[in-house]
Amino acid sequence: MGRGNVQGCALLALGTLLAQADTWLLQSRYIEGSSPEMIQNYTILGRDRQDAEVQRDRWLLEHPEIRVLRLHPPRPEPPTLLTRIGGRDVPRVSIEVEYEE
């Protein structure tokens, strides 16, 4: 097995692993002019627009204690090598949710 094949298999395995995870918490940040509470940003990934919206609705139902400040519209993720070789299960759309606890 050549070196390129090993790297390709590793990327495919990583893509499959990432596709199985529903959501990832990417970052938390402060917004100037907001309350002293920390505003958190949660990014939800989906295979397509409909899948991302289903994942968003499920995440919001699982976290009724949060106060949603802003729901961003679904937007396409930038194309990468992972989306080329990862098949249909690689996330291609993201939705960001800004919230306070």
Burial 28-45 (b: 16+ CB within 10 A, else e): eeeeeeeeeeebbbbbbb
- Is the pLDDT score of 14 beyond 80? no
- Phi, psi values for residue 34, rounded to 5°: -95, 175
Q: Provide CB contacts within 8 A for 36, sequence distance 6+.
A: none
Distance CA 40, CA 83 (A): 27
pTM above 0.75, yes or no: no
Provide mean pLDDT across the span 38-57: 95
Q: What pLDDT shows up at residue 87?
A: 82
Total number of domains in the chain: 1
What's the average model confidence in pLDDT over 40-69? 95
Mean pLDDT for 7-25 is 43
User: CA-to-CA distance for 36 and 14, rounded, in angstroms?
Assistant: 38
Structural domain boundaries, residue 46: 3-100
Q: Is the pLDDT of residue 5 over 50?
A: no
pLDDT at 82 over 60: yes
